[in-house]
């Protein structure tokens, strides 16, 4: 937890497919007086992002194209 910005960071990448929500207990205390502290539970919900590599299902594909100009062959 960044004390200046409040940003919460993790050591490892989070994966929503493994864990959608979790709780983090945050404890704040005064530097000069650690006995003065406050504790809160932060509920975190991860958003789903497509992080899977695309998979090609078909082994062959046909593409129809219009307005194709002929290729000029200079030499053989």
Domain layout of the chain by residue ranges: 1-75
Which pLDDT band, with edges at 50, 70 and 90, does 61 fall under?
confident
pTM: 0.50
Q: How far apart are CA 12 and CA 58, in angstroms?
A: 35
List Cβ neighbours of 58 (8 Å cut-off, separation of 6 or more): none
Q: What is the pLDDT of residues 11-47, one digit of tens each?
A: 988 888 888 999 989 888 888 988 899 999 999 999 8
* Dihedral of alpha carbons 7, 13, 14, 15, sign: positive
Predicted confidence at residue 39, as pLDDT, reads: 93
């Amino acid at each position: 937890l960044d004390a200046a910005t409040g940003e919460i960071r993790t050591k490892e990448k989070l994966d929503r497919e493994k864990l959608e929500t979790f709780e983090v207990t945050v404890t704040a205390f005064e530097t000069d007086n650690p006995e003065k502290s406050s504790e809160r539970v932060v509920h975190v919900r991860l958003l789903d992002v497509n992080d899977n590599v695309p998979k090609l299902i078909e082994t062959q594909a046909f593409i129809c194209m219009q307005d194709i100009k002929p290729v000029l062959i200079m030499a053989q």
